[in-house]
């Protein structure tokens, strides 16, 4: 399955080292103006080769829209965009045909596809496929913003270095949503860079956590039966992001250490007569239904499995144990570039909550 969604459906195609990658987005409402410069700005946040924290591979990541827009406005037909792959070094992966990378999809994909899987850059398992996801999310977030829904994310942690928890106010979220490697405390970014550089210098990699907040989502969305709750919708697309290994909402796993009196979010009426909660341990979701408070969730990303350090593996041809050192260009930490990917996945998840576009959300 390379397709996801019901109300708004995205289908992603292509491989990391193929001629191009792209997506088809179905179900977008007609008559929505789409600023392609703003879309490109989001693409640039994810694009490779920006600094020492990312792969040296350079790609413009300029989407070519083939259908679905006329004079910059959605027409109700499927939106299709293609992104060219222009800087591939496929020979870097020749030694992986028989020796799978530990921590990567190489071996299980070899078994599932009987050895016909595209190993170059990870094929369709590559993080390269998040570029069309960001395109689709960048389109959706413009539609959501006109409904008063604002989202943004930051690097909550890289290795042992942690940023401050998110304050999901619209202005703060909007500021995060335009930055590369966004953090709340500038000095923490410097410390994160040092953590990444230490891993890179050791021919290794490091993981981290991204925290995302969404303001302006009205109460009462989601809860489509036992398995159609908001958490289920969000998690199902977030886990489609390569290297995502965990998702938690609100207090998340921390709630397991609390008493009910500590975890419950007390209700009150604000000055405008809206029902709010004094805390938000629920992360804006109860019973799979939005509460009207900001949605807050975190995604955990594993370290990049492609590392130059020697690792134990097997030779699938000779059926012997061997040692592998991965060649090529790889991110020592994917967290900085994954931030706009998480935001884009969240935007698509929101577009699949029935009723999200029926009225202006209260912020």
State residue 362's pLDDT score.
45
Residue 118, classed as helix, strand or coil, is coil
Which is more confident, 295 or 125? 295
126 is in an annotated binding site: yes
Structural contact between residues 281 and 251, judged by C-beta atoms closer than 8 angstroms: yes
Q: Please compute the mean of the pLDDT values over residues 147-155 and round it to a whole number.
A: 97
pLDDT for position 127: 83
Please state the rounded mean pLDDT for residues 187-193: 96
Is the C-alpha dihedral spanning 229, 234, 239, 244 positive or negative? negative
Residues 103-130: tens digit of each pLDDT: 888 899 889 988 888 877 676 778 889 9
| 303 is an annotated ligand-binding site residue | yes
Distance CA 208, CA 283 (A): 20
Q: Name the pLDDT band for 361 (thresholds 50, 70, 90).
A: very low
**The pLDDT value given to residue 1:** 66
* DSSP summary character for residue 9: E
- The pLDDT of 185-213, averaged and rounded, is 95
Question: What pLDDT does 59 receive?
Answer: 66
pLDDT more than 70, % of the chain: 92
Q: What is the pLDDT of residue 156?
A: 98
Least confident stretch, 208-212, 223-227, 315-319: 223-227
Does 304 appear as a known binding residue?
yes
* 138 closest CA partner among 216, 65, 36: 36
Q: What is the CA radius of gyration of the chain?
A: 21
Q: Is 360 annotated as a binding residue?
A: no
Res. 360 pLDDT band, cuts 50 70 90:
very low
Cβ-proximal residues to 278 (8 Å cutoff; 6+ apart), any chain: 265, 266, 267, 268
| Cα–Cα distance measured from residue 140 to residue 134, given in angstroms and rounded to the nearest whole number | 10
Where residue 93 falls among pLDDT bands split at 50, 70, 90?
A: low
Mean pLDDT across the stretch 268-290? 96
162 known ligand binder: no
Interior angle at CA 136, CA 135 and CA 137, nearest 5: 95
208, 340 Cβ separation under 8 angstroms: no
Give me the pLDDT at residue 202, please.
Answer: 93
In angstroms, the CA 13 to CA 115 distance is 20
Whole-number average pLDDT of the chain: 91
Note the pLDDT tens digit of each residue in 25-81. 999 999 999 999 999 999 999 987 676 666 665 667 899 999 999 999 999 999 999
What is the pTM for the complete model shown? 0.92
CATH class label, 92-122+147-351: alpha beta
Would the annotation count 329 as a binding residue? yes
Torsion of CA 286, 289, 291, 297, to 10 degrees: 70
Q: Is 9 annotated as a binding residue?
A: no
Say if residue 308's pLDDT is above 80: yes
The full set of domain ranges for the chain reads 92-122+147-351
According to DSSP, the residues that pair with 296 across neighbouring strands are 213
Q: Is 124 annotated as a binding residue?
A: yes
């Amino acid at each position: 399955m390379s397709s996801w969604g019901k109300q708004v459906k995205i289908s992603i195609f292509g491989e990391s080292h193929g001629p191009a990658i792209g997506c088809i987005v179905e179900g977008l409402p007609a008559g929505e103006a789409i600023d392609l410069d703003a879309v490109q700005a989001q693409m640039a946040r994810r694009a490779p080769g920006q600094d020492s924290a990312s792969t040296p591979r350079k790609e413009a990541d300029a989407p070519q829209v083939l259908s679905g827009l006329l004079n910059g406005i959605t027409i109700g037909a499927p939106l299709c965009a293609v992104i060219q792959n222009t800087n591939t070094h496929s020979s870097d992966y020749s030694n992986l045909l028989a020796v799978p990378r530990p921590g990567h999809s190489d071996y299980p994909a070899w078994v599932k596809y009987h050895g016909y899987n595209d190993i170059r850059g990870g094929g369709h398992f590559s993080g390269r496929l998040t570029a069309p996801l960001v395109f689709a999310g960048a389109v959706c977030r413009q539609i959501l913003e006109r409904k008063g829904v604002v989202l943004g994310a930051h690097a909550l942690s890289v290795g042992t270095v942690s940023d401050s928890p998110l304050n999901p106010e619209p202005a703060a979220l909007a500021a995060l949503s335009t930055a590369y490697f966004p953090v709340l405390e500038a000095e923490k970014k410097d410390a994160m860079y040092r953590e990444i550089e230490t891993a890179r210098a050791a021919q290794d990699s490091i993981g981290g956590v991204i925290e995302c907040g969404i303001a302006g989502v009205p109460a009462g969305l989601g809860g489509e039966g036992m398995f159609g709750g908001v958490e289920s919708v969000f998690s199902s697309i977030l886990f489609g992001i390569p290297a995502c290994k965990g998702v938690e909402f609100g207090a998340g796993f921390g709630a397991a250490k609390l008493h009910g009196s500590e975890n419950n979010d007390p209700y009150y009426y604000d000055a405008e007569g809206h029902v709010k909660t004094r805390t938000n341990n629920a992360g804006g979701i109860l019973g799979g239904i939005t509460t009207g408070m900001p949605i807050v969730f975190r995604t955990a990303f594993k370290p990049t499995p492609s590392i130059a350090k020697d690792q134990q593996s097997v030779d699938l041809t000779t059926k012997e144990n061997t040692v592998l050192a991965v060649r090529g260009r790889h991110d020592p930490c994917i967290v900085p570039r994954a931030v706009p990917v998480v935001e884009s996945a969240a935007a698509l998840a929101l577009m699949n909550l029935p009723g999200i576009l029926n009225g202006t959300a209260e912020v």
